[in-house]
């Protein structure tokens, strides 16, 4: 006899069966373990990952111990959602959670990696909400969800643990700040709160070191990004209301004055409608776009177009997109459902035919983060309650919108075997392979520096754009930081002339140039020439990012996890394996620099410093604040004004110390994906008996690096 079970009891038993569901443990790639309990969301970061893991490179990494035993990861499921508990040892420090602005060392904090355009007050909100963290114990944890997730990083105790805490504050406190001081940093868990989830899905990236775990994460994501080589040169963005003639004049200005530039960016008004976007050239300002593209090309300047995805009724694709978009508008425009299949095709095809095929080199993808979650009155984004034809909800769409938008737009370049370098305002996890920098409307210099370090923990690249400044000193310091970053951008979207001719916004737009404009221009030229000299080294670091997963820009703790003195050092970072950058914020004349193990050379003064100590270092406005590790052979190019596939670099190798361990250069065409099929060379640099040697290996057809000089420091 079959007994009839009333409905509520069935539901109850279902809930219980979810809660009691068994843990599944699966090996995903060498050193990557996945722990799953319950249902995995359809729109999880892993499900949206389109790249294949570089398993071969992963298998070459040192065999890892176990940073976290998968069986010690505990998932609770209840009516509210999923709760994941991950062990945290007393001596571990943790880093990550995407493009964090306000904090670096994350233990003891509540972190909410939720996408936001203006991440104030250090809540964990960010342009790039990566649910990934790394531990100094040598492992990484990725929570595979696109939902709004909260990480309690050793902040909370359960009653059952019955551990007496140092409550820290207490009755002796005589101020509000004292009362609420955070001292609860001894808890033995990271607790992850995922409301709405029906499962917990955790990827463990093993070490043995923090760096190895990070490498595995980047390789699992498809390997680090490989930008077009020209992308490492200067991008200069024109004022928002510029016309075609203004662009021509600006190109002439740059070339006449020998200021290097590779890319010009055009702002909203290149379109016939923007906010929302038409994706159609504005005939008043740009009557002859193809002429523009071609004339710029002739001067060695690529064009980057600003846009966002919210599609105006004035756009030719509005009609086709209408049924493949979310149910709420943004700025009266459609929100394309990039999580489906229809909208990406319409959107990409249109862009291919209209722009990519005609020579537009890259895009700046704006507003793909969520509008301000930390201020009350600026609401422009689609609400979290939005629904999309693909089935994704507004919350998960927000978290993934940048990633999906990038994938849609970059697919055209991949299909055409063209590389590029985008700018974008949001990305999620597993985005290491995306050749794009992130940028922000915020403008606190110290936070801009911190984001360089933090981006490296999450497979992200950050661009600390230079806009206006309060004085010449700040302008130069900001330029230095931008030159020591993944992309060097002067974003003059509200400045008529370059800021080095007039840093003050009002005066700049009135045409009142600085009395000593030419002198400042000279300093900026010197700084930009450093960047152009540095590109071969930087490009080689990117190649290592691609093939081995080592981020070209990374916090000191990645390379020196055993040195506790670097745990809080967010304002210095490694570029490649041999260069330590220590940018000066605001209008500083000097700063404290901590140097890790070994000896280091001030690049400017050539003075040598012993490591594991701090120094106060002065850096001139026309110098670049970097330190070179003893043993380095640093290849620096004679600066060129822009980079083409046939550009040859005249290299001088600087040899630091008496027993250099060598150096390397990576060589390919810089613009196609042919390197993936083996069309590249490496140039090994070595120094013996007072003589340098460059040893070229590989099968790229042309020698791009001419090693001319060797200089012993």
Out of 340, 383, 389, 645, the only residue in the binding site for a copy of itself (CB under 8 A) is 383
Instruction: Supply 471's token pair.
Output: 């004085």
Taking CB under 8 A as the binding criterion, the range among 135-143, 385-393, 559-567, 689-697 that sits at the site for a copy of itself is: 385-393
Instruction: For residues 387 and 371, give the distance between their C-alpha atoms in angstroms, rounded to a whole number.
Output: 17
- Restricted to residues 474-503, the positions that interact with a copy of itself (CB under 8 A) are 494
Out of 131, 215, 221, 271, the only residue in the binding site for a copy of itself (CB under 8 A) is 271
Q: Which residue has the tokens 């990557």?
A: 32
Taking CB under 8 A as the binding criterion, the range among 323-331, 347-355, 357-365, 632-640 that sits at the site for a copy of itself is: 323-331
Q: What is the DSSP letter of 253?
A: H
Nearer to a copy of itself, 108 or 435 (CB): 108
Out of 393, 474, 572, 668, the only residue in the binding site for a copy of itself (CB under 8 A) is 393
Instruction: Supply 554's token pair.
Output: 């990374």
Pairing of strands 302-307, 362-365: parallel
Strand partners, 528: none
Nearer to a copy of itself, 231 or 268 (CB): 268
Q: Does 327 bind a copy of itself (CB under 8 A)?
A: yes
Q: Each residue of 312-337: b (16+ CB within 10 Å) or e? A: bebbebbebbeebbbeebbbebbbbb
Q: Does 374 bind a copy of itself (CB under 8 A)?
A: yes
Backbone angles phi, psi at 330, to 5 degrees: -125, 125
Instruction: For residues 250 and 301, give the distance between their C-alpha atoms in angstroms, rounded to a whole number.
Output: 11
Out of 30, 138, 260, 326, the only residue in the binding site for a copy of itself (CB under 8 A) is 326
Asked if 157 and 163 touch (Cβ cutoff 8 Å), the reply is yes
Q: If DSSP codes are grouped into helix, strand and coil, which group holds residue 566?
A: helix
Q: Does 47 bind a copy of itself (CB under 8 A)?
A: no
Asked if 153 and 94 touch (Cβ cutoff 8 Å), the reply is yes
Q: Does 93 bind a copy of itself (CB under 8 A)?
A: no
Out of 375, 414, 564, 592, the only residue in the binding site for a copy of itself (CB under 8 A) is 375
- Restricted to residues 137-156, the positions that interact with a copy of itself (CB under 8 A) are 150, 152, 155-156
Q: Does 470 bind a copy of itself (CB under 8 A)?
A: no
Out of 144, 325, 407, 432, the only residue in the binding site for a copy of itself (CB under 8 A) is 325
From the CB of 273, what's the least distance to a copy of itself, in Å?
A: 8
Neighbouring CB atoms inside 10 A of 453's CB total 25
Q: What is the DSSP letter of 587?
A: T
From the CB of 199, what's the least distance to a copy of itself, in Å?
A: 14
Q: Does 563 bind a copy of itself (CB under 8 A)?
A: no
Asked if 444 and 535 touch (Cβ cutoff 8 Å), the reply is no
Out of 77, 274, 617, 626, the only residue in the binding site for a copy of itself (CB under 8 A) is 274
Out of 248, 253, 331, 673, the only residue in the binding site for a copy of itself (CB under 8 A) is 331
Out of 275, 609, 615, 673, the only residue in the binding site for a copy of itself (CB under 8 A) is 275
Out of 74, 243, 295, 329, the only residue in the binding site for a copy of itself (CB under 8 A) is 329
Q: Which helix (H) or strand (E) is 390 found in, with range?
A: none
Q: Does 241 bind a copy of itself (CB under 8 A)?
A: yes
Out of 6, 376, 515, 690, the only residue in the binding site for a copy of itself (CB under 8 A) is 376
Asked if 428 and 44 touch (Cβ cutoff 8 Å), the reply is no
Pairing of strands 705-712, 150-153: unpaired
Instruction: For residues 310 and 318, give the distance between their C-alpha atoms in angstroms, rounded to a whole number.
Output: 10
From the CB of 485, what's the least distance to a copy of itself, in Å?
A: 21
Q: Each residue of 115-135: b (16+ CB within 10 Å) or e? A: bbbbbeeebbbbbbbbbbbbb
Pairing of strands 302-307, 263-266: parallel
Nearer to a copy of itself, 45 or 124 (CB): 124
- Restricted to residues 157-196, the positions that interact with a copy of itself (CB under 8 A) are 157-160, 164-165, 167, 169-176, 179-182, 184, 191, 193, 195-196
Closest CA to 464 of 619, 573, 372: 573
Q: Does 632 bind a copy of itself (CB under 8 A)?
A: no
Q: What is the 3-state secondary structure (H, E, C) of 344-375?
A: HHHHHHHHHHHHHCCCCCEEEECCCCCCCCCC
**Rounded alpha-carbon distances, angstroms, from residue 549 to 76, 82, 491, 514:** 33, 31, 30, 45
**Rounded alpha-carbon distances, angstroms, from residue 557 to 95, 215, 282:** 9, 14, 48
From the CB of 121, what's the least distance to a copy of itself, in Å?
A: 5
Q: Does 80 bind a copy of itself (CB under 8 A)?
A: yes
- Restricted to residues 296-315, the positions that interact with a copy of itself (CB under 8 A) are 313
Nearer to a copy of itself, 109 or 301 (CB): 109
Residues, the chain: 713
From the CB of 148, what's the least distance to a copy of itself, in Å?
A: 9
- Restricted to residues 116-135, the positions that interact with a copy of itself (CB under 8 A) are 120-124
Taking CB under 8 A as the binding criterion, the range among 74-82, 213-221, 344-352, 671-679 that sits at the site for a copy of itself is: 74-82
Out of 129, 268, 402, 576, the only residue in the binding site for a copy of itself (CB under 8 A) is 268
């Amino acid at each position: 006899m079959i007994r009839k079970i009333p409905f509520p009891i069935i539901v109850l038993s279902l809930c219980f069966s979810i809660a009691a569901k068994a843990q599944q443990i699966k090996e995903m790639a060498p050193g990557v373990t996945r722990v799953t309990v319950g249902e995995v969301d359809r729109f999880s970061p892993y499900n949206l990952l389109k790249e294949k893991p570089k398993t071969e490179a992963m298998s070459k990494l040192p065999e890892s111990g176990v940073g976290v035993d998968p069986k010690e990861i505990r998932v609770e499921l209840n009516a509210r959602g999923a709760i994941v508990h991950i062990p945290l040892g007393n001596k571990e420090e943790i880093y990550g959670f995407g493009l964090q602005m306000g904090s670096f060392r994350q233990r003891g904090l509540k972190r909410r990696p939720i996408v936001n355009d203006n991440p104030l007050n250090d809540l964990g909100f960010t342009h790039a909400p990566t649910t990934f963290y790394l531990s100094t114990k040598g492992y990484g944890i990725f929570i595979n969800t696109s939902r709004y997730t909260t990480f309690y990083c050793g902040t909370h105790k359960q009653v059952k643990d019955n551990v007496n805490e140092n409550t820290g504050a207490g009755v002796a406190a005589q101020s509000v700040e004292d009362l609420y001081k955070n001292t609860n940093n001894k808890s033995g868990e990271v607790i992850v709160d995922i409301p709405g989830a029906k499962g917990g899905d955790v990827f463990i990236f093993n070490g043995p070191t923090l760096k190895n775990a990070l490498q595995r994460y980047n390789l699992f994501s498809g390997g680090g990004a490989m930008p077009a080589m020209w992308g490492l040169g200067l991008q200069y963005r024109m004022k928002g209301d510029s016309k075609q003639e203004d662009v021509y004049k600006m190109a002439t200005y740059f070339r006449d004055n020998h200021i290097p530039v590779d890319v010009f960016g055009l702002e909203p008004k290149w379109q016939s409608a923007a906010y929302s976007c038409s994706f159609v050239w504005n005939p008043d300002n740009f009557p002859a776009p193809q002429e523009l593209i071609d004339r710029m090309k002739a001067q060695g300047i690529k064009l980057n177009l600003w846009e966002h995805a919210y599609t105006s009724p004035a756009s030719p694709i509005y009609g086709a997109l209408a049924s493949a978009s979310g149910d709420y508008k943004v700025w009266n425009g459609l929100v394309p459902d990039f999580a489906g299949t229809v909208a990406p095709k319409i959107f990409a095809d249109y862009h291919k035919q209209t722009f990519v095929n005609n020579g537009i080199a890259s895009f700046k993808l704006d507003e793909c983060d969520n509008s301000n979650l930390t201020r009350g009155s600026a609401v422009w984004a689609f609400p979290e309650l939005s629904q999309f034809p693909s089935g994704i909800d507004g919350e998960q769409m927000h978290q993934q919108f940048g990633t999906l938008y990038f994938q849609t737009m970059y697919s055209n370049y991949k299909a055409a075997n063209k590389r590029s370098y985008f700018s974008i305002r949001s990305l999620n996890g597993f985005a290491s392979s995306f050749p794009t920098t992130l940028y922000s409307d915020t403008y606190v210099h110290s936070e801009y520096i911190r984001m360089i370090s933090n981006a490296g923990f999450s497979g992200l690249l950050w661009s600390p754009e230079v806009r206006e400044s309060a004085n010449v000193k700040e302008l130069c310091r900001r330029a230095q930081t931008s030159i020591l970053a993944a992309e060097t951008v002067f974003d003059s979207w509200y400045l008529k002339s370059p800021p080095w001719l007039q840093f003050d916004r009002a005066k700049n737009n009135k045409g009142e140039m600085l009395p000593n404009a030419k002198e400042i221009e000279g300093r900026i030229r010197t700084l930009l020439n450093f960047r152009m000299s540095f590109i071969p080294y930087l490009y080689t670091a990117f190649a290592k990012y691609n093939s081995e997963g080592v981020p070209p820009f990374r916090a000191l703790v990645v390379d020196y996890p055993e040195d506790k003195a670097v745990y809080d050092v967010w304002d210095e970072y490694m570029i490649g394996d041999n260069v330590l950058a220590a940018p000066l914020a605001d209008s500083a004349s000097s700063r404290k620099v901590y140097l890790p193990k070994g000896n280091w050379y001030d690049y400017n003064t050539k003075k040598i410093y012993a490591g594991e100590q701090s120094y106060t270092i002065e850096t001139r406005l026309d110098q670049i604040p970097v330190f070179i590790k003893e043993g380095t052979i640093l290849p620096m190019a004679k600066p060129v004004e822009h980079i083409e596939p046939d550009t040859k670099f005249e290299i001088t190798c600087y040899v630091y110390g008496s027993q250099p361990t060598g150096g390397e250069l990576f060589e390919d065409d810089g613009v196609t994906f042919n390197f993936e099929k083996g069309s590249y060379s490496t140039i090994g640099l070595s120094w013996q008996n007072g003589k340098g040697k460059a040893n070229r290996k590989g099968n790229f057809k042309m020698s791009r690096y001419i090693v001319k000089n060797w200089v012993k420091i």
